[in-house]
């Protein structure tokens, strides 16, 4: 039975003995990692990949676990069914059996104490369970944090489970704790349970493996971590924060800005601070940079440097809203737009303030005129980009194709592609801070460069728009002739 899976069973019945020995008093599913409880993170991670129906098996401290989910507005739009396992002192396969009456067809099976990369679910969405199960395995053995506690897997050349168990000596992968299962798993577990009076999930997997119905799917570069000790909480947090660095981050963002923003995100992740709150803080600091810079005079040149520092600080904080959104699954279209517009307002206002400061210091109005011209042209370009974003349903400039990756670019486009990094906020904010500290002479060059950047961006966007319009007109002509 193929197709996409939209339902999941989450095991949240255990006592979390190892965490309690470490001084933890909360039920393990309610331990917070990265600003969310383990259970909520498990739900939202699966939801991101298309799961909207959850069967949660609870046992130890079930009232607290239920209350945490039922009182959470972020989860009330999903179908969530709680199932009690009064025999939670037994092995975890007994918990799986409790979900059987509520499951039809294929389902994901996951542990509430595992933090996983959403990419693992994407891998399993492409691997039908058929008449058995598919286990997501990790072959990056050197990256396993606690190998002694890991469930080892020996896979066969044809992609099946040859053997599985914590004590396995000959193995080539470990169990990530995420499965795509058919109802056949329930049958395997029930047969074993009726004979032995207890059953673990591994017992059921071993039964299906012996039949040749347990396959594996390698998660590749995806990350995961089970959380059952204070040490694994720290490692899971480290993995979560490592995932916040985006592939498109430039050197400045990766090595400077992210180092600062992640520290702040870690400080606020367990508070009620939202991405929009952080965007607002960045906006206020960015506008303060403009005000301070505009107050610069020949007798207070230090304000020019302070403005540059505040402008760079605003840029560093700019990563926090996105980090919190990704860390706590708080992305919203409104928030994306708010961030985009805020960045543009900060940048345009700062260019005007630099022009005004240079006018105050030099007495030459040309610098104010350049600053105003940068603002006006920047506003025109931003407005054109906003119209495109509204038409496509996106809210960030990163979603716009400027044609820099075209297969046959013009010479002009090739040149822009090579200097594109200059237009990234992380780069030019840091550069402007150093130039502001250097003084008016350096900022004159920066202001001219800012105007040139806006002009070049506008030209490239115009060329791309004309090209797209020509292509669209050509398609309409072909359809009309057809």
Query: Could you report the per-residue pLDDT of 54-112, keeping only the tens digit for each?
Result: 999 999 899 999 999 998 999 988 999 999 999 999 999 999 999 999 999 999 999 99
Tell me how far apart the alpha carbons of residues 143 and 386 are, in angstroms, rounded to a whole number: 43
- Mean pLDDT value of segment 339-366: 96
Tell me how far apart the alpha carbons of residues 138 and 175 are, in angstroms, rounded to a whole number: 7
Domain range for 95: 7-239
Tell me how far apart the alpha carbons of residues 120 and 218 are, in angstroms, rounded to a whole number: 9
Q: Are strands 79-84 and 152-155 parallel, antiparallel or unpaired?
A: unpaired
Query: In this structure, are 232 and 273 located in the same domain?
Result: no
Determine the longest span between alpha carbons in the chain, in angstroms. Answer: 93
Query: In this structure, are 184 and 297 located in the same domain?
Result: no
Query: In this structure, are 416 and 463 located in the same domain?
Result: yes
Which CATH number belongs to the domain containing residue 226 in this structure? 3.90.550.10
Tell me how far apart the alpha carbons of residues 88 and 91 are, in angstroms, rounded to a whole number: 7
Query: In this structure, are 14 and 53 located in the same domain?
Result: yes
User: In the structure, what pLDDT confidence band is assigned to residue 321 with cuts at 50, 70 and 90?
Assistant: very high
74 with 44: CB under 8 angstroms? yes
Tell me how far apart the alpha carbons of residues 139 and 126 are, in angstroms, rounded to a whole number: 19
Please report, to the nearest 10 degrees, the dihedral formed by the alpha carbons of residues 69, 72, 78, 83 taken in order.
Answer: 10
Beta-carbon count within 10 A of 408 CB: 5
Which CATH number belongs to the domain containing residue 466 in this structure? 1.20.120.1760
Predicted confidence at residue 292, as pLDDT, reads 97
**Positions of E strands within 184-264:** 214-218, 224-226
Predicted confidence at residue 154, as pLDDT, reads 95
Domain assignment of residue 1, yes or no: no
User: In the structure, what pLDDT confidence band is assigned to residue 399 with cuts at 50, 70 and 90?
Assistant: confident
- The percent of the chain in helix, strand and coil, each rounded to the nearest 5, is 60, 15, 30
Tell me how far apart the alpha carbons of residues 12 and 15 are, in angstroms, rounded to a whole number: 9
Phi and psi torsions of 475, nearest 5°: -65, -40
Query: In this structure, are 83 and 217 located in the same domain?
Result: yes
Query: In this structure, are 280 and 219 located in the same domain?
Result: no
Domain boundary among 239, 264, 286: 239
- pLDDT at 468 exceeding the cut of 80: no
Query: In this structure, are 187 and 93 located in the same domain?
Result: yes
Q: What is the residue-wise DSSP string for 352-369?
A: HHHHHHHHHHH--THHHH
Tell me how far apart the alpha carbons of residues 440 and 389 are, in angstroms, rounded to a whole number: 37
| Number of domains the chain contains | 2
User: In the structure, what pLDDT confidence band is assigned to residue 23 with cuts at 50, 70 and 90?
Assistant: low
Q: Is 401 helix (H, G, I), strand (E, B) or coil?
A: coil
Tell me, yes or no, if the pTM score tops 0.75. yes
438-447 pLDDT, tens digit each: 999 999 999 9
User: In the structure, what pLDDT confidence band is assigned to residue 482 with cuts at 50, 70 and 90?
Assistant: low
174-215 pLDDT, tens digit each: 999 999 999 999 999 999 999 999 999 999 999 999 999 999
Q: What is the mean pLDDT of the chain?
A: 92
């Amino acid at each position: 039975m193929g197709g996409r899976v939209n339902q999941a069973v989450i095991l949240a019945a255990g006592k979390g003995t190892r965490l309690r020995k470490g001084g933890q008093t909360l039920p393990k599913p309610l331990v917070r990692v990265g600003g969310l409880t383990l259970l909520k993170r498990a739900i939202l991670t699966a939801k991101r990949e298309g799961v909207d129906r959850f069967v949660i098996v609870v046992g130890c401290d079930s009232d607290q676990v239920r209350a945490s989910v039922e009182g959470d507005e972020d989860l009330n739009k999903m179908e969530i069914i709680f199932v009690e396992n009064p025999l939670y002192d037994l092995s975890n396969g007994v918990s799986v059996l409790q979900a059987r009456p509520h499951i039809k067809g294929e389902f994901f099976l996951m542990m509430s104490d595992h933090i996983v990369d959403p990419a693992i679910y994407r891998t399993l969405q492409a691997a039908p369970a058929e008449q058995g199960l598919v286990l997501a395995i990790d072959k990056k053995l050197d990256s396993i944090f606690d190998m002694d506690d890991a469930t080892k897997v020996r896979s066969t050349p044809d992609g099946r489970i040859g053997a599985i168990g914590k004590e396995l000596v000959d193995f080539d992968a470990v169990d990530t704790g995420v499965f795509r299962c058919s109802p056949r798993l329930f049958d395997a577990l029930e047969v074993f349970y009726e004979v032995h009076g207890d059953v673990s999930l591994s017992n059921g997997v071993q039964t299906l493996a012996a039949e040749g119905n347990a396959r594996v799917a390698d998660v590749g570069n995806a990350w995961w971590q089970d959380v059952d000790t204070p040490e694994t909480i720290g490692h899971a947090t480290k993995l979560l924060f490592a995932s916040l660095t985006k592939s498109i981050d430039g050197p400045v963002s990766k090595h400077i800005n992210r180092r600062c923003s992640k520290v702040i995100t870690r400080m606020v992740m367990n508070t009620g601070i939202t991405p929009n709150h952080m965007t607002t803080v960045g906006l206020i600091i960015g506008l303060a940079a403009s005000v301070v810079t505009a107050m610069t005079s020949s007798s207070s040149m230090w304000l020019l440097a302070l403005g540059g520092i505040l402008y760079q600080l605003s840029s560093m904080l700019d990563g926090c809203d996105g980090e919190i959104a990704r860390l706590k699954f708080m992305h919203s279209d409104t928030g994306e737009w708010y961030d985009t517009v805020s960045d543009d307002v900060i940048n345009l206002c700062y260019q005007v303030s630099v022009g005004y400061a240079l006018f105050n210091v030099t007495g030459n109005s040309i610098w104010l005129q350049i600053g105003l011209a940068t603002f006006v042209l920047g506003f025109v370009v931003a407005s054109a980009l906003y119209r495109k974003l509204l038409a496509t349903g996106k809210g960030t400039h990163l979603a716009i194709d400027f044609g820099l990756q075209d297969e046959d670019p013009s010479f002009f486009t090739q040149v822009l592609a090579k200097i594109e990094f200059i237009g990234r906020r992380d780069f030019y904010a840091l550069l402007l801070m150093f130039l502001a500290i250097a003084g008016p002479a350096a900022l004159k060059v920066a202001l001219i460069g800012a105007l040139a950047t806006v002009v070049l961006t506008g030209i490239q966007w115009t060329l791309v728009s004309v090209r797209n319009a020509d292509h669209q007109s050509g398609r309409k002509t072909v359809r009309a002739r057809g």
